[in-house]
Amino acid sequence: MFKKLFGNKEKVEQLLAPINGQVINIEDVPDPVFSGKMMGDGIAILPEEGLVVSPIDAEVIQVFHTKHALGLRTKHGIELLIHIGLETVNLKGEGFEVHVTEGQRVKAGDKLVTFDIEFLKSKAPSIVTPIVVTNGDLVEKIEKTDSTQANIKETEILKVYVK
């Protein structure tokens, strides 16, 4: 009744693909930390090129010194981790170039990181890139894309409903 009278005040965050590539279920990521959702729930993409853009308007809250991952916070407080490849922390930043700094505000589609995809393929166990919500306590539910292909700024990969 309240929603009917006053309108739906539901808070929803819509994330667009930050990478062009094949969509993979988080449960199928070949790393138990991600597949077991220990870091949080989300989706993964097998990149076709070495470009990562922001999936949503957000603040950059963490840039790992090894350049392989970064954290974003959306306007409703949802925190996202974009982790490029698996065990890529061991590369100590080699093959990555970060284009943002902590505290910077970004818009959906802004360039975050570029990476040498061939170098990563040769040095990392996998280039699968998980995109996860790390503060699931704020989440009512997550709807995931049923698309098998992700296209930057086009494919909505996640819809996050905030409590």
Domain range annotation of the chain:
10-162
Distance CA 8, CA 10 (A): 6
Predicted TM-score of the model (pTM) = 0.93
* 83 counts as catalytic: yes
Mean pLDDT of the chain: 94
- The arithmetic mean of pLDDT across residues 47-71, rounded, is 98
Proportion of the chain above pLDDT 70, given as a percent: 94
Superfamily of the domain at 10-162: Glucose Permease (Domain IIA) (2.70.70.10)
- Check pLDDT > 80 for residue 155: yes
- Check pLDDT > 70 for residue 4: no
Q: What angle do CA 3, 143, 139 make, to 5 degrees?
A: 65
Band of residue 106 on the pLDDT scale cut at 50, 70, 90: very high
> Among 163, 153, 161, which residue's Cα sits nearest to residue 12?
161
- Check pLDDT > 80 for residue 136: yes
* Annotated active-site residue in 65, 68, 76, 83: 83
Instruction: Classify residue 150 as exposed, middle or buried by CB count within 10 Å of its CB (0-12, 13-18, 19+).
Output: buried
Band of residue 9 on the pLDDT scale cut at 50, 70, 90: low
> Among 82, 87, 77, which residue's Cα sits nearest to residue 98?
82
Q: Write down the pLDDT at residue 10.
A: 79
Phi, psi of 93 (to 5 degrees): 95, -15
Cα-trace Rg, the chain: 16
